[in-house]
């Protein structure tokens, strides 16, 4: 009876390897606004493929190997494991920072890989020893390999956490600068990075549980990684290009504007007056693509002063402030009988929104009811007042 070389877990790994290689090779023809975004994503997919190949060669005893390959696999496997996470972090930064560029300082992310390679070379660690079979391994070598495995779990997890922190900062910055945000693309990016964090945490937990209890859950992270791989591919071609790019935080430190930034905690009355003029008289909130810099330019006030004043005087950010006036504008249309033939879509566009889902979400949050319910109730009251007694 022939012993099968591959089981169902290996099939998942083979699919992941094949898909990762295809995605890495086809990055040049896929849509992307920046060249280095493609490079980073291709590098991430390629590192996934190498790490999955390493998993198969280390743990599948039925795959024939030479002495050369046995000694080479740990280098490629550990290198790929330690590179994929910083590549993902840099990819996230490249699609969320307008002026992101690959710099020499980013080479510091290679330090864990260099250290791992030096350790493997110094102790002559091969594929068989990576399995931590205690037979024939002295205590020192066992400890070194054990710590190497924990590093392969902990370091990527730290990078994945950094990636999700980057996304959260990006969300906050968008709400400070823009009046309209592509929430679908934003939440896709958030949940995708969160998925990598949870996958990394699960892998680390499996290592701990495996050490103490020898639980047979080690292969489950292969399935999770396969799902995340498909999700990242879908996101990269469908949502990543729809994110609103924003300036890097350092760019806001413009020395020319430092003198105009508010120095006390009370916004200037003239700043608030100009903001309200832009809202009441110029009706700038009707601009669907309005951001804080455009608004500031229209009213002749530095954007820092605008953000500061809105935050301190109105207790909110630019995103919420502008949309609250858009909601008031839509209520005017919805409650007026002469606009009863306008559709909800027509009204939200006239009010400055460009997304039906964002409009409905904001409207219900501020009024407690949907736009349709608000219109029905407002028109009902209007006709009841006009109806003769």
pLDDT score of 386: 53
Q: How far apart are CA 378 and CA 389, in angstroms?
A: 19
pLDDT score of 214: 53
DSSP lists the bridge partners of residue 291 as: 178
Q: Is the pLDDT of residue 315 over 80?
A: yes
Q: Identify whether the C-beta of residue 89 lies closer than 8 Å to the C-beta of residue 110.
A: no
Q: Is 101 helix (H, G, I), strand (E, B) or coil?
A: coil
Write out pLDDT tens, residues 102-160.
Answer: 899 999 999 999 999 999 999 999 988 888 765 667 889 989 998 998 899 899 889 98
What phi and psi, each to the nearest 5 degrees, are found at residue 291? -125, 175
- Cα of 100 vs its chain's centroid, Å: 15
The two three-digit tokens of residue 307, written as one number:
């953000």
Q: Identify whether the C-beta of residue 31 lies closer than 8 Å to the C-beta of residue 87.
A: no
Give start and end residues of each alpha helix (H) in 239-280. 255-258, 269-280
**CATH architecture entry for 261-386:** Orthogonal Bundle (1.10)
pLDDT score of 74: 94
Q: Is the pLDDT of residue 64 over 80?
A: yes
Q: How far apart are CA 290 and CA 322, in angstroms?
A: 9
Q: Identify whether the C-beta of residue 132 lies closer than 8 Å to the C-beta of residue 145.
A: yes
Torsion of CA 218, 224, 226, 229, to 10 degrees: -130
pLDDT score of 4: 54
Segments of the chain assigned to CATH 1.20.1070.10: 8-246
Higher pLDDT, 162 or 293: 162
Nearest to 177 by CA among 28, 332, 310: 310
Q: How far apart are CA 61 and CA 57, in angstroms?
A: 8
Confidence at 251, pLDDT banded by 50, 70, 90: very low
DSSP lists the bridge partners of residue 178 as: 291
- CATH code given to domain 8-246: 1.20.1070.10
Q: How far apart are CA 14 and CA 69, in angstroms?
A: 19
Average confidence (pLDDT) over 287-302: 86
Q: How far apart are CA 79 and CA 159, in angstroms?
A: 15
Q: Is the pLDDT of residue 353 over 70?
A: yes
Confidence at 247, pLDDT banded by 50, 70, 90: very low
Q: Which helix (H) or strand (E) holds 264?
A: none
Torsion of CA 174, 176, 180, 186, to 10 degrees: 30
Instruction: Write out the DSSP string of 182-210.
Output: -HHHHHHHHHHHHHHHHHHHHHHHHHHHH
Nearest to 236 by CA among 91, 335, 104, 337: 91
Segments of the chain assigned to CATH 1.10.10.60: 261-386
């Amino acid at each position: 009876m022939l012993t099968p070389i591959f089981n169902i877990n290996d099939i998942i790994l083979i699919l992941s390897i094949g898909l990762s290689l295809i995605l890495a090779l086809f990055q040049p023809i896929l849509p992307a606004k920046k060249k280095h975004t493609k490079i980073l994503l291709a590098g991430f997919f390629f590192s996934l493929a190498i790490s999955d190949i390493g998993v198969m060669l280390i743990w599948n005893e039925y795959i024939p190997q030479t002495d050369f390959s046995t000694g080479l696999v740990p280098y490629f496997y550990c290198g790929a494991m330690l590179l994929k996470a910083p590549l993902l972090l840099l990819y996230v930064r490249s699609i969320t920072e307008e002026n992101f560029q690959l710099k020499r300082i980013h080479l510091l992310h290679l330090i864990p890989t260099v250290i791992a390679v030096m350790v493997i070379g110094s102790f002559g660690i091969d594929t068989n020893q990576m399995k931590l079979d205690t037979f024939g391994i002295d205590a020192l070598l066992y400890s070194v390999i054990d710590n190497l495995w924990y590093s392969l779990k902990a370091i990527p997890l730290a990078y994945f956490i950094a990636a999700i922190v980057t996304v959260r900062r990006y969300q906050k910055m968008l709400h400070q600068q823009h009046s309209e945000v592509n929430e679908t693309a934003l939440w896709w990016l958030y949940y995708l990075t969160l998925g990598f964090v949870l996958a990394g945490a699960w892998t680390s937990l499996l290592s701990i549980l495996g050490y103490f209890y020898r639980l047979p859950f080690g292969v489950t992270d292969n399935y999770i990684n396969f799902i995340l791989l498909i999700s990242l591919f879908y996101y990269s071609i469908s949502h990543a290009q729809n994110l609103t790019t924003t300036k890097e935080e350092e760019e806001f430190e413009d020395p020319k504007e430092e003198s105009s930034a508010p120095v006390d905690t009370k916004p200037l009355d003239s700043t608030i007056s100009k903001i309200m003029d832009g809202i009441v008289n110029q009706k700038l909130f009707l601009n669907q693509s309005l951001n804080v810099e455009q608004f500031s330019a229209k009213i002749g006030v530095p954007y820092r002063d605008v953000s500061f004043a809105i935050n301190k005087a109105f207790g909110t950010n630019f995103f919420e402030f502008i949309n609250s006036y858009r909601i008031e504008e839509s209520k005017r249309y919805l409650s007026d009988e002469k606009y009863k033939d306008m559709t909800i879509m027509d009204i939200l566009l006239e009010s400055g929104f460009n997304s039906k889902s964002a409009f409905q979400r904001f409207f219900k949050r501020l009024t407690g009811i949907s736009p349709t319910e608000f219109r029905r109730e407002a028109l009902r009251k209007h006709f009841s007042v006009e109806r003769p007694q």
